[in-house]
């Protein structure tokens, strides 16, 4: 089970390349290093199961989560490319894709965001992040967030499945979001929907979550 991960949220201009590279080293290359270690023996045994804790953000990018989403997209692409070869050797790969999970991980992320220096971005972007994103995000976690124990139960079900699924989303509230992206290959539908949620109907979104 590959579960190591770090988060990053905020305006792109405020994040250093060194911090981005460090995140990718944990979230993506950490997984790659693990798989390189365990896969050869699984191939020799002709059996095994690699379970990867991914994220719904590996399927749909979320505003102000550019680098974190990119790391999870990389995880998804890596596993999707590898799974066909792995199946030849009777090795299963499963992606567990949670939405928001209520842990110290998120608490720390909010604390860092609230005391961050936004002088490297424009005032409008800084205000959108601090006044809209952080507020809406807290409402999302309060309303839709799962406990770590819930994610553990989902992961156990994936591990124990007679035929392990390649993808397993833990929160049904996010199924429409993933479906919306696939409904329109041009991307216009989901982009327009998210733009309106963030910039036009954010008050309605918060009210609905509460």
pLDDT at site 96 = 97
Where in the chain are the domains?
12-206
pLDDT at site 209 = 65
Residue ranges of the chain whose pLDDT lies below 50: none
pLDDT at site 68 = 96
pLDDT at site 210 = 66
Among residues 68, 118, 174, 201, which one is catalytic? Answer: 68
pLDDT at site 176 = 80
- Reply yes or no on whether 68 is catalytic: yes
pLDDT at site 54 = 96
pLDDT digits (tens, 9 = 90+) for 171-210: 988 888 778 888 888 999 889 988 888 888 777 776 676 6
**Per CATH, domain 12-206 is 1.10.10.10:** no
Is the Cβ–Cβ distance between 102 and 147 less than 8 Å?
yes
């Amino acid at each position: 089970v590959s579960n190591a991960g770090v988060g990053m949220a905020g305006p792109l201009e405020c994040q250093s390349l060194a911090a981005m590279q460090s995140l990718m080293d944990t979230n993506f290359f950490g997984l790659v290093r693990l798989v390189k270690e365990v896969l050869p023996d699984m191939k020799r045994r002709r059996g095994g199961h690699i379970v990867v804790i991914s994220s719904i953000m590996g399927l749909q990018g979320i505003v102000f989560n550019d680098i974190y989403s990119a790391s999870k997209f990389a995880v998804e692409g890596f596993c999707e490319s590898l799974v066909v070869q792995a199946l030849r050797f009777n090795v299963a790969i499963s992606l567990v894709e949670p939405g928001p999970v209520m842990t110290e991980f998120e608490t720390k992320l909010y604390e860092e965001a609230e005391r961050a220096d936004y002088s490297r971005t424009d005032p409008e972007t800084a205000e959108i992040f601090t006044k809209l994103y952080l507020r809406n995000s807290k409402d999302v976690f309060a309303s839709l967030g799962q406990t770590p124990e819930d994610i553990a139960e989902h992961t156990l079900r994936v591990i124990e499945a007679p035929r392990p699924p390649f993808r397993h989303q833990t929160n049904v509230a996010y199924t429409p979001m993933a479906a919306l992206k696939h409904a329109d290959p041009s991307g216009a539908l989901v982009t327009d929907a998210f733009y309106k949620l963030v910039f036009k109907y954010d008050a309605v979104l918060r009210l609905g979550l509460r």
